[in-house]
Every structure is written in C-alpha cells, then in structure tokens.
Amino acid sequence: MRLVSQVYRVTQVFPDVERYGLAQQIRRAAVSVPSNIAEGAARGTRAELVRFLSIARGSLSELDTQLWIARDLGYLTAGQLEHDLVQHLFAKLNSLIRSNQRARRTNTP
C-alpha cells in the first residue's frame, strides 16, 4: 500500500502528455499488486492464493519496468521512489509463493 501511495504522489507531476499514458499504466500496475494479494487471500484455497500472488508478482514486475522507463525519460529521479521497496516486495511475494506452494504439496491447511 505504501508503494501505491508513492506511485500516485510521483506520477502527479508527470508531464500532461503522459496523463493518460505512462502515468496511468504505472498507477494501474501499482494498484494491481495489493488488489491481487487481497483477492487471492479471500479465495480461501492455497492454490488460488498462489495464483493471485503470482499475478501480483507479475504486476510488480510490470511496475518495476515502467518505473525504469519513467526514470530513463526523466520523469522520475532516483530519490523520488524507493526502489528498495520494490525489491523488498519482490522478495516478500516470492517467499509467500514458495511457502504456500510447499504447504500445498504437504496438504497442510
């Protein structure tokens, strides 16, 4: 959720030409991460949770790429967004996915 807040804050100052382009793509990808985590958790099975965690990881990867594009275009500076937070979220999602996959294989609730 902190990443979504940061993304909204930094994309507010993107050039007008990007209002419906890259800025919106970045925002959609950012919102997709916690939304998919929540949906997967609400589904009630480990298989569904893993599936939605994987989708969240894909959205995070998309977001990471788009943030690098924005930085390369000069819309973002290195200090405007905590890139460490993106990497931390990748690690957390990977850990959650592995943990739930192992639990599924051993048939634990």
DSSP per-residue string spanning 82-93: -HHHHHHHHHHH
Q: 104: pLDDT confidence band, cut at 50, 70 and 90?
A: confident
Mean pLDDT for the stretch of residues 96-100:
95
Q: Which pair of tokens denotes residue 77? A: 């500076």
CATH of domain 2-105: 1.20.1440.60
DSSP state of 79: T
Q: Check residue 90 and give its pLDDT.
A: 95
- Asked whether the predicted pLDDT for residue 108 surpasses 60, the reply is no
Q: Check residue 44 and give its pLDDT.
A: 87
Q: Check residue 109 and give its pLDDT.
A: 54
Q: Provide the angle, in degrees to the nearest 10, between the axes of the packed helices 2-11 and 22-43.
A: 160
Mean pLDDT for the stretch of residues 56-75:
95
